[in-house]
Structure 1
Amino acid sequence: MKKHDKANVIGRNESIHLFLQLIIMTNFGEYMPEDAFGCRLWEYEFETSIDYKEVRHSVQAALLETITSFESRLYDVKVEVAFLGNQSFSRKVSIRIYGKLAETAEPFEHQQFLFICPKTVTNQ
């Protein structure tokens, strides 16, 4: 068995961040083996007239369900979704995920900003 070069191995927290990003960036049904994997946000990507309060609650609930189903390294998970700024053609969305690491009970936080319509990701 080949030893892994430490430069190629990512840590637990980074792995969780990447997995949460994958969940957020995946539309339901896009991952064939599991239709329940993904984020409801993309169902609204090209909608021109939406009820932001309703969408926020819907996305939060669905994202919480997906994370608790597929990310066993976190527990006591909470999800916050907010639409920021001018809600016109390009909508900026903030997604914050809070929880505790199952292994150590340490607090964990993931924040991601997205622009929908068209799909764009930023770390700021």
Structure 2
Amino acid sequence: MSDNFLQKPFRFGSVFSGAGLQATDLGNSISNHIELIIFTRYGEHRHNSNFGCEIWELDFELIVSESLWEEKFRRSLLKSISAYESRIDRVDVEIHITEVENVYPLRRITEIKKKVDISVRGIIKTTGEKYFFNIALFLSPLST
């Protein structure tokens, strides 16, 4: 595997000016790849319809039980990370869903969203270092 990792987003202006793409470290590269897995819907990847995760199907699902929703998403993400991110081992995924309320008094609008906190832990295979990734997503805008 190559030791050259690229920063995202790509800055193509620097390529056209001859500077090339900006490099990043292994941990950042793993995080970028996990983000790609999270933000890719099953079937969206042209050459591998199994790449991605189930959050896009779950986003529009009526959440009857938050714990069941969290577990279904956790298993989907764990399966995808284990299959497609081979640079980390002993992967553990935690999912927590909460409601966030934003009030806009001037517009007389209250907006309720589901916030999903995602944490991924593991061990980087080549170095033995602990790896940690955390991101928060907002789903289901509900406005009044």
TM-score of the two chains, using structure 1 as the length reference:
0.82
Taking the aligned partners of 1:55 and 1:73, their CA distance within structure 2 comes to 28
Q: Higher Cα Rg: structure 1 or 2?
A: 2
- Number of positions where the alignment pairs a residue of Structure 1 with one of Structure 2: 115
**Residue 82 of structure 1 pairs with residue 87 of structure 2:** no
Taking the aligned partners of 1:5 and 1:11, their CA distance within structure 2 comes to 18
Residue matched to 1:121: none
Structure number having the greater strand percentage: 2
Residue matched to 2:129: 106
Taking the aligned partners of 1:82 and 1:23, their CA distance within structure 2 comes to 18
CA contact (8 A) 2:63 2:69 kept: no
Taking the aligned partners of 1:49 and 1:69, their CA distance within structure 2 comes to 27
Determine which of 4, 11, 18 is the counterpart of 2:32.
Answer: 18
Identity %: 29
Determine which of 73, 86, 100 is the counterpart of 1:59.
Answer: 73
The alignment's C-alpha RMSD in Å is 2.2
Which structure 2 segments of 5+ residues have no match? 1-17, 102-110
Which structure 1 segments of 5+ residues have no match? 119-124
Residue matched to 2:45: 31
